[in-house]
């Protein structure tokens, strides 16, 4: 147990997965299993990232070593306790070097950060004034090649300060793209024509 965390729980449906090995080390619990429908070997790791920057780098190094040890499909999911850039924080202190280290970890392991719809932030502070996107799914290219239509959606929070995130293998339409208009555009001479053509 770390801080308010009650620990990590990892469950799977034996109709679909055959567990080969349990993978566990500090901040990580997971399973190496065989996907019964196609005999693909799949490694799924549930991550609960530490808050201290020095421990984060130790975690990135440990995860990198585990991923490098097997040329197989990987899914890393959970609370990484780190953002990728300043826009993924609101009302929180952003420190560039840990975010840079996290991005280097993702890039150096050729991981794909699955786009999450539904909510922009996945965590909210107890008082409801601070927000961050610290929960995510990172997948390897081998996993992504098998499931090309991956999408994720952050669901409503209920009993926790984190949004549960659902990963699906289907095309997901998150609605229309946001459109911004700047008042200065309205001063343009041909703005009426552009709007009518659009």
Q: Range of 82's domain?
A: 17-197
User: Which pLDDT tens digit goes with each residue over 150-160?
Assistant: 888 777 777 77
Query: Over 36-96, what HEC string results?
Result: CCCCEEEEEEEEECCCCHHHHHHHHHHHHHHHHCCCCEEEEEEECCCCCCHHHEECCCCCH
The answer to the question of residue 1 being in a domain is: no
pLDDT of residue 112: 93
Rounded to an integer, the average pLDDT of 11-27 is 89
Query: How far, in whole angstroms, is CA 168 from its chain's centroid?
Result: 13
The answer to the question of residue 5 being in a domain is: no
Domain count, the chain: 1
Residue 112's domain is classified under what CATH number? 3.60.10.10
DSSP state of 149: T
Whether residue 138 is predicted with pLDDT greater than 80 in this model: the reply is yes
Q: Give the percent of the chain with pLDDT over 90.
A: 30
The answer to the question of residue 8 being in a domain is: no
The answer to the question of residue 2 being in a domain is: no
Instruction: Give the residue with greater pLDDT, 178 vs 41.
Output: 41
The answer to the question of residue 7 being in a domain is: no
Alpha helices per DSSP H over 111-190: 141-146
- Average of per-residue pLDDT values in the chain: 81
The answer to the question of residue 142 being in a domain is: yes
């Amino acid at each position: 147990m770390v801080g308010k965390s009650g620990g990590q729980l990892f469950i799977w449906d034996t109709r679909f997965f055959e567990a080969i090995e349990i993978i566990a080390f500090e901040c990580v619990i997971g399973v190496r299993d065989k996907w019964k429908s196609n005999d693909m070997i799949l490694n799924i790791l549930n991550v609960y990232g530490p808050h201290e920057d020095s421990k984060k780098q130790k975690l990135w190094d440990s995860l990198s070593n585990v991923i490098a040890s097997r040329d197989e499909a990987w899914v890393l999911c959970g609370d990484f306790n780190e953002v990728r850039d300043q826009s993924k924080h609101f009302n929180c202190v952003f420190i560039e070097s840990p975010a840079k280290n996290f991005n280097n970890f993702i890039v150096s392991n050729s991981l794909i950060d699955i786009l999450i719809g539904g909510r922009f932030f996945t965590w909210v502070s107890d008082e409801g004034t601070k927000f961050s996107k610290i929960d995510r799914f990172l997948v390897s290219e081998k996993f992504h090649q098998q499931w090309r239509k991956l999408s994720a959606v952050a669901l409503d929070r209920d009993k926790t300060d984190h949004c549960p995130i659902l990963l699906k293998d289907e095309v997901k339409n998150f609605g229309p793209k946001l459109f911004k208009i700047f008042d200065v555009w309205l001063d343009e001479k041909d703005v009426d024509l552009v709007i009518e053509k659009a």
